[in-house]
Structures are given as structure tokens and as C-alpha cells.
Structure 1
């Protein structure tokens, strides 16, 4: 996107094909603190936005692993200006922990001349007010592997060592062709670039259909990081990508296997209860004024079918493996009434 305040570093170049800036702040929060940021409960704040699929991943994984009491969370509103995501959902328009109005302030606190997009998700050190990392693919993996001492009892193994190679392989194709593929359709600068991205997207969705036709989850018989990464794109497909990004060969609801798979995850604690369809639509249709200049947000589609039976239990599998579902969503982190699939 043209805005420097965009999600996960997306932007449109002067060329004809959409390009995503994948240069992130690569510092990590690890057990050994090798980059100067050791795992420490109560020290870090995840800054996210429910509208953003990349940030939504971190919200889901944090909840599945039970890290809510260990890593605090601040939520930006669904829209932003050219400079930064803002905390307009909070009283006085300030994050109650960091005391800032714009996420940009945490970036500039550490890098006064930070030249790249001010993106979510980001993790901020509460002690210094400085951004630590915005490397969203690594953030969720580190939640799974570096914060194990603080996982809830019964937390799932989202990135088990014996499946990591396969998870990484699936994630690579899903990112290139699906997660990022919808953007390559929506922000294509030529008919040729659009049609190429469109064909690659639906080829990948057909591949996913074949993969999921006879197995409940993407890798193994439990939910993994791969399912989290695919889900956030599927949840936005009909409300946004089908129309707004011209990904219109089929709606998700017209792809029986993927639609059942998405409903299975949505009805699993940690997925649907972190999904805010109202904010999702507000973000894409309002912020992307270059492709929706009227900034009119559509009323549809109807969402109640997300709660309909999916029948995926017949394929076996155990969503949480030997573990258990997370408990109720903390009151201060619940999706507002009317924003889900009630």
C-alpha cells in the first residue's frame, strides 16, 4: 500500500506488479536474550490490529498458547493515515500502557529516522517504549518456541520440531500464492500482472482443496502454525478479497472443502473469537482509497453461516493434540458484540 502506516510493510511501486517490503526489524525475544531482549513476563507489549491479517496471526497464537497474562496487548483502530496506526479505540486516543497516540512513536523512540512503514504487529519493550521487532513471521514462531516456560497448561504444539520442515514448506507456498497473492491481485498495476496473480492464487487454492479434502488440518492431525497463517486470509476472503481485490473466480462459500475447513477453525477457540469482521471491512475499504476512492464500506456478506456445522470431525484429527482449548477470552480483549458471526 502507498501508506507508510500500512500492514506488514505492503506497498505499491511505480511498476506494474505489487511488491511487498519484507525487510523487518529482525531482533528477536529469546530465552538466551542474544539480541538484547530476553524472554521476561510482563516486559513486552504486543501491538496489533484486528483488521490486519498479519497481526491477527499473533493475536490467535498468543491466545492459543495462553500468553495473555505474560505479554500484554494493545489494539490499534482499523484505519490509519499515511503516517501510522493510531490508538483511537482507547480513551483519549492513547495506549493505556505506553502512553502514546501513534505506533510511530515507539518506532521513532528506537530509530529516530526509521525509513520504512510503521507496521503491525509490533512488539514494544514497556520499559523503554521502544519497538523491539515487527518481524511478524518470526514473532509467532518465537511465541511457540521461546516462551514455552510460560505457555498455559494444555497449550498446543503449533510448531512441533518433527513437523517443522513440512510446515515451513506449506507456509512458503501459502504466503507467496495466497496470503500475499490476494494483495498481488488487488494492487496489480496492469491486466497482465493481475491475471498472473489471479491464476496463481486459485491454483494454490485448488492445491489446498486437494490437500484438505481427506485430512482435517494442513500438517499432521492437529492445528499448527500453518493453519493459523491460512485462516486469517480465508476469514477475509468473502468480506474483502473477493470483491475489493478482484479475487472473484469463486467465493470461499463456493469452495466446499476450504469453506468447511475455515468454519472448523473459526469455531475453534482462539480463531473466531479473535476475528472482527466489522474492523476488517472498515480497514480495507476505507484505507485503500486508491482502489476504493468513495471509501464506502459494504454491508455484506452475511456471516451467520460461519457458525453452521462443518462436518470436518469425520476426518479425525485432534485440534489441540494432547492439550486442551484455551479458556474464555479476557473481558478487555473480547471482540465487540456485533462484530463477529453472531
Structure 2
């Protein structure tokens, strides 16, 4: 059976739900991930800070991208030094785009700004540039990402999300679609890509890539989140099983090839990497997907270390930011509710050699 038929057949076996939780920041009803579930919200004396971990009126479990202007169809001008990617180093969905920009050599023509993975107490649905001097993005000259969302739509009332591609000329968000931006950059920005960079979305593989992307989205990227957000034992076990059945399947797929589609990196490798990079330090522990660690999978572990050895992946993987966000996330002041960030696991193992040399053809 042709590869395309195999992937399509595999895709037909699963329920693809595009509205699974892409950003699991609300654990208010989940007794798996939120030990404070059911506790009453606390309002502080200053009427500004409040513990709103259990009551988030603006939160939606799924929020589709609201800005989808395209380079491919010519709506957006492909113009160097005009756009700025705003991302958070903790976020796997934003991490995808930052890796792609560097991997394609577009970091010389598209700048990047980083928001703080932690928000001030009492604040919901916004990201802040508190890592920068004067708490302000040095290019956009705004203190929060919501300013760029409001420039794009003055009536915008939903959460601000990362990644967000911003037009520097007017400071407005033009695209925040984490599912399509990699392919937009890969296809439309070839003129500015560094020589020798991989074709992340080659024409002859696009139907295969689209199919495997959906499989990984459903059974890995979002399934780990759904396990952590589970409201019942049955739901938890459903997504737990989906995660490990798919990891077993991917372990076999990678047994005789370096990357998911052979010897060349594609969009799909980036999408899988960002979840795998967070698996042992976050998902295995906090989301109870604990049948196996990533390091217990011979091929997957060496595959992800192989990718990590590439500067575009390594330089965009911040384990400290990941642990801070996933273990310290709360909108209660630290002094009122102390959060502990796990010391482990040992991250030096990421620097150890991998055994994929025989697959580098």
C-alpha cells in the first residue's frame, strides 16, 4: 500500500476534532491538574489582584485563530523586516513558528519578540513584555500583546494568543494561526530563505503531511492536554490510551528512517518535536500521561535528541520557561499561594549523542 494510502487509512481510524484544547490554561474544573478545584475565588483588598483560577469568564477551552491573512494568496506582502513574531517560550504552538523561522533562515528578515510566560496576578487573557527593558517590546513599543490585537480589531474581546505575527508598520496582528504559519513561511518566503534550508512543505508530500499533521494533532499534541483536563476517569483514560498508542506507532515509523518522512525535515517533525520536548518534564508528571517516559522509547528519544542537536531546535527550546509556566501557572500572587517547580528531570541527557547516524543518508 502506498504511503499516502497508509496515512489516510490511519487518519480514517481516528476522530479528528479541531476544537480540542490547544491552550490548556484553565484547569479550574480538572481535579487531575488542579488540586484547588472547587475552592472559592478570593478577591484581594486592593480590588485589583484576585485569585481567578477557578472563575475565568473570558476563557474558552478552544479559541480558533482570529487573524488569518495570508502570504500565499498575496493578501500580505512578502517584505523583509516588516513583520515581528511574538511568542512565549513555554508554548508549544508558538514554539513551532519560532523554530521554523530559524530553520528556514528567515530570522534575518522576520524579527522575534518574547512575552513573559507568567502573567501578573488577577490578569487573564493577555501577555506582557516584562522580560524587556521598561516592560516594553523594543520594536513595537507596547507593554502587552493585547495592544497589537486591538490595533487589528478595536472591538477585540477574546484572549490574546501566541504566536502572533505583527505588522511592524502599524503594530497590528495579521496572523495568529499556529496551524498554517509554518507552511505560509515555507512556501511564500522562499526568496529570503537561507540556501540549503529544508523544504518544510514540499508539493509531492503535501497530502501526506496534511494527513500525518492531523493524526499527530489529535493523538499527541492535543491528546496530552485533554488527559490533563479530564473531568472523569473515562475521559482521562481515553486520551491516555490515544497518546501511548500513537507514540508506539510513531516509534515503529521511526525505526528505519531519520525523520517522519525519510531523510528530510518537514513541517510535521516540528509539530511532533514541540510536544515531545515537553513530555518528560511536564506532560508525564503533571498531566498523568505516565505509562512511559519519552526516554523509554528508543527511536523517539534518539529522534528528538537528533532534532535538538540542530541549532534552530535547541536555541528555541527553553526548559526553564516551560517548567515555570506549566508548574507555576496561577493568577494568585506567589506570596499567597506558593508554587514549587520540580528540580528534575536531569536535562544533561539532552546533550548526549544519539544513534541516528546510520539513518543520515
Question: How far did 1:219 drift?
Answer: 1.1
2:248 alignment counterpart? 206
The aligned residue for residue 306 of structure 1 is 350
Residue 48 of structure 1 contacts residue 73 of structure 1 at CA under 8 Å; is this kept in 2? yes
* CA distance in 1 between partners of 2:178 and 2:110 (Å): 15
Q: Does residue 1:69 correspond to 2:111, yes or no?
A: no
Q: Is 1:117 the counterpart of 2:156 in the alignment?
A: no
Q: Distance in 2 between matches of 1:175 and 1:31?
A: 23
Residue 271 (1) aligns with residue 271 (2): no
Give the aligned partner of residue 206 of structure 2. 164
> Match for residue 87 of structure 1?
129
- The equivalent of 2:98 in structure 1 is 59
CA apart distance, 1:109 = 1.6
SS at match of 2:180: helix
Q: State how far apart, in whole Å, the 2-side matches of 1:210 and 1:276 are.
A: 28
- Check 1:107–1:206 CA distance in 2 against 1; reply closer, same or farther (3 A cut): same
Q: Please provide the CA RMSD for this pair.
A: 2.3
Distance apart, 1:274 and its partner CA? 1.4
In structure 2, how many angstroms separate the alpha carbons of the residues matched to 1:28 and 1:311?
A: 42
Question: Deviations along 1:204-241, whole A, 9 cap, x unmatched?
Answer: 11111111111111013211111111001110011111
Q: How far apart, in 2, do the equivalents of 1:118 and 1:103 lie? A: 7
How many residue pairs get aligned? The number is 308
Aligned mates of 1:12, 1:50 — CA distance in 2:
19
Deviation of 1:32 after TM superposition, in Å, equals: 5.2
Partner of 2:51: none
- For residues 157-216 of structure 1, the C-alpha deviation after alignment (integer angstroms, 9 at most, x for no partner) is 111111111111111110111011110011111111111110111111111111111111
Task: Kindly indicate whether residue 287 of structure 2 is the aligned counterpart of residue 287 of structure 1.
Answer: no
Q: 2:139 aligns with which of 97, 121, 124?
A: 97
Assess if the C-alpha contact under 8 Å between 1:8 and 1:136 holds in 2.
Answer: no
- The structure that has the greater radius of gyration is 2
User: d(CA) in 2 for partners of 1:251 and 1:289?
Assistant: 30
1:316 aligns with 2:355: no
Q: Which residue of structure 1 aligns with residue 66 of structure 2?
A: 25
Answer yes or no: is the 8 Å Cα contact 1:8–1:120 preserved in 2: no
Deviation track 1:291-319 (CA, whole Å, cap 9, x = no partner) reads xx7521111111111111111111234xx
Which structure 2 segments of 5+ residues have no match? Answer: 1-20, 34-59
Moved more, 110-119 or 279-288: 110-119
Helix, strand or coil: the match of 2:253?
helix
User: Distance between the aligned counterparts of 2:296 and 2:331, measured in 1?
Assistant: 28
Given the alignment of the two structures, is residue 249 of structure 1 paired with residue 291 of structure 2, yes or no? yes
- SS of 2:174's partner is strand
- Deviation of 1:289 after TM superposition, in Å, equals 7.1
- What residue is the counterpart of 1:332 in the other structure? none
Residue of structure 2 in register with 1:222 after alignment:
264
Counterpart position of 1:240? 282
Query: In the alignment, is the contact (CA less than 8 A) between 2:22 and 2:222 conserved in 1?
Result: no
Q: Is the 8 A contact 1:45 1:72 kept in 2?
A: yes
TM-score, normalising length from structure 2? 0.80
Q: For 1:12-64, what per-residue CA distance to the aligned partner results, in whole angstroms no more than 9, with x for missing partners? A: 59988998525212423415533xx2111111110011111111111110001
Corresponding residue number in structure 1 for 2:44: none
Stretches of structure 1 lacking an aligned partner (at least 5 in a row): 1-6, 318-342
- C-alpha offsets along residues 133-179 of structure 1, whole Å, 9 cap, x if unaligned? 11011111101001111111221111111111111111111011101
SS at match of 1:73: strand
